[in-house]
Each structure stands twice: as C-alpha cells, then as structure tokens.
Amino acid sequence: MPNWAIWVGASLAGIITLAAGGILTEIGPWYRGLRKPSWQPPDWLFAPAWTVIMALTTWAGVIAWRQAPGVPERAMVMALFVLNSFLNAGWSLFFFKWRRPDWALIEVIPLWLSILLMIVEVGSYTARGAWLLVPYLAWVGFAAFLNWTIVRLNGRFA
C-alpha cells in the first residue's frame, strides 16, 4: 500500500471519530445547567485539544501500521484503533446525547483501557508511536476525573 494511502485512510478515520464525537456533543441548556468544578477548562478548549490528540493518534497509527511486521499485526493495530473510536464516540453518546454522565463515567474505563492497549501494541513496534498516544491517555484520564466530579456535584441521574 502506498504511503499516501495509509495517511489518507488514517486521517479519514480520525476525522470520522472527531465528527462522531462532535455530532453527539450537545452544549445546550442541560449541559450549561450542570454544576461543574471551577477548574474545568473552558468549553472552547475542547475542540482544539481533541484535534491535536486525534492528529497525534493518527500519526501513531500510521507509524505502527508501517512498522508492524505482518498482516496479523496490522489487523491488531487496526482493530484496537477501531475499538477505541467506538468507545470514544460512546462516551459522548452517554454523556451528552443521553444526558447520563453516570453511565459515561462507567464507559470511560474501557475507553481509557483501550488507549493503554493501543500504547502497548503500538509500543511493540515503535516507541515514538507509543509516546504519541500518551497525551490521549492523559486527557482521557483528566476527563474521567472531570466526569466523576460532575457526577458527584450533580447527584443521581435518572
């Protein structure tokens, strides 16, 4: 497969993941009405942060794809990235669309673990690719703590 085709495919996958999260994220009266901690970043920061994270994730995926020694290893890389994309969109679905931060808090655990698995798998082929995923792991860890704080501040969701 030509190098440009790998980049195009990985970039499209990243754009689709970002678009899914964006479509499922509704910043409206319900969200604005939630009690949130004073240390929460401003809403405008989330889109640029996710764009950078997805660009780094795409880069890591391309490096891993190119370094993987064979078809089974490439299939594993792809499977982990696809699983992570679904989990990423799932968090936005639970939190914003279904307005269930408590369910999103449960869902963030497999999301975080999927990033850790990607780091381990990618790291078996390329250290640089693994390091490119660390900001994603850190951001989702921070988001999980923010999610937990929002659930704690707002009580039980029904």
pLDDT tops 90 at residue 157: no
Please name the amino acid found at residue 150: I
Crossing angle between the packed helical segments 3-24 and 43-67, to the nearest 10 degrees:
150
pTM: 0.91
pLDDT, tens digit, 9 for 90 and up, residues 34-93: 999 999 999 999 999 999 999 999 999 999 999 999 999 999 999 999 999 999 999 999
Please name the amino acid found at residue 96: F
Are 66 and 6 in contact, with CB atoms under 8 Å apart? yes
pLDDT, tens digit, 9 for 90 and up, residues 101-156: 999 999 999 999 999 999 999 999 999 999 999 999 999 999 999 999 999 999 87
pLDDT tops 60 at residue 158: no
Are 86 and 43 in contact, with CB atoms under 8 Å apart? no
Are 21 and 88 in contact, with CB atoms under 8 Å apart? yes
DSSP notation for the chain:
--HHHHHHHHHHHHHHHHHHHHHH---SHHHHHS---TTSPPHHHHHHHHHHHHHHHHHHHHHHHHH--SHHHHHHHHHHHHHHHHHHHHHHIIIIIS--HHHHHHHHHHHHHHHHHHHHHHHTT-HHHHHHHHHHHHHHHHHHHHHHHHHHHH----
Amino acid 130: pLDDT: 98
Nearest to 80 by CA among 121, 131, 19: 121
Task: Kindly list the structural domains of the chain, giving each domain's residue range(s) and its CATH number in brackets, ordered by start.
Answer: 3-29+46-154 (1.20.1260.100)
